[in-house]
Amino acid sequence: MSGLKGKFSGVDRLYEIADKRSCTGCSACACVCPAACIQMRRDKEGFFYPVIDKKRCINCGKCRTYCPGEPEDDGKVRAVLAGYSHSPRIQRESSSGGVFTHLAEEVLKRDGLVFGVEMQGSRASMCSVEKPEELCRLRGSKYVQSWTGNAYSLAKEYLDKGRWVLFSGTPCQIAGLLATLKKKYSRLITVDFVCHGICSPSVLEKYLMECGNGKNARKISFRDKTEGWKNFSMKIEWEDHTISRTSSQNDPYLQSFLKNLNLRSSCFSCKFRKIHRESDITLGDLWGAEKFVEEWTEDQGYSLILLQSQAGEALWKKIEDQVVSVSVELSQVLLHNASLKASPWDEYSRNLFFKGINKYDLEQCMMRAEKNGFKKKAGRKLWKIKDFIPSIF
């Protein structure tokens, strides 16, 4: 932690909780602030960062105390599995194999709640559901930073009442939740996923403006399987009820994501990319599924499942008969899913992408960021020497 760093903006004095390059935007600090003086605001790249109203701050230091640190990783997990839902519908409607739905349904059977992210137009927000028919709101990948809101506080409120809670999110969001709770709950199940990185909400809005010609998006599917699981598409239902669908190979937003150009700075040195996680269960895509099981050649999606704790293992045993599953070798999984452990490296190209975001369209931003030459080589060397000085709000 770098402590509180003062900056000026008009008459207000703004502060950062942690070094901007390491802040994940998990919002744990805003959740625990007793003076409610911390707000999550977008920076010039569109990512949410905590900002303190110094006039209301009581200097209690909770924001720094509760900021999640780097978790330990002994590399040991209880089980490494591959699987997919027995239900073709659930498998088809999910990003990978549909395992999350069965885990969530089991918790709902216990009069529990399930927290996850839903898209509301172009905005991704954390919410909770209590009915199986509402789980469709939480299915599917959301390639954009989500608004956490009061989800941590609500989860704690339900847990204190003795309710079961399944909380799903990015590894850094799970860390934020656990930091705010500060104690273990026997009825809490946490599920994270193999995270490629967090995308800028402003870049998504720019993309929708460019391809929608001023129309608002009613529903966004970042991983539509019409063309298959491997060749997924960006599917958008617009306010005038028209539908557009673009292959991931040709869609500028998905390409900026897959090429690590629209990611948050902290994703390039993520402290939560570990084999053994703080969560109870880790889910992800099982890329290269046919190399694990010869018969798994259908292009509808397969899941990687890491059981991280006794609680995760117990929940899995309740739903495993609803999933086709086999044990797989972790070393083989890592060959096909580097994001489980490794962060992207070319942050310099990412910075070039955001440098032009207010001047050019997304395709031009990508071209400028990917263009090689003497100037870029020299700039990258200089950037490595300076180790990137964080930009100012």
Residue-wise pLDDT for 230-249, tens only, equals 999 999 999 999 999 999 99
How much is the average pLDDT of 324-339? 94
Q: Is the pLDDT of residue 3 over 60?
A: no
- Encode pLDDT of 142-159 as tens digits: 999 999 999 999 999 999
Q: Give the pLDDT score at 5.
A: 41
pLDDT in tens, 45-71: 999 999 999 899 999 999 999 999 888
Quote the pLDDT of residue 75.
75
When pLDDT is averaged across residues 75-102 and rounded to a whole number, the result is: 96
Burial annotation 320-348 (CB, 10 A radius, 16+ → b, else e): eebbbbeebeeeebeeebebbbebbeebb
> What distance, in Å, lies between the first and last C-alpha atoms of the chain?
18
Residue 16 has pLDDT above 80, yes or no: no
Mean pLDDT value across residues 104-108: 98
Q: Per-residue confidence at 278, pLDDT binned at 50, 70, 90?
A: very high
Read off the pLDDT band of 386 (50, 70, 90): low
Q: Does the pLDDT value for residue 108 go beyond 60?
A: yes
Q: What is the pLDDT of residue 378?
A: 73
Q: Is the pLDDT of residue 377 over 60?
A: yes
pLDDT of residue 387: 55
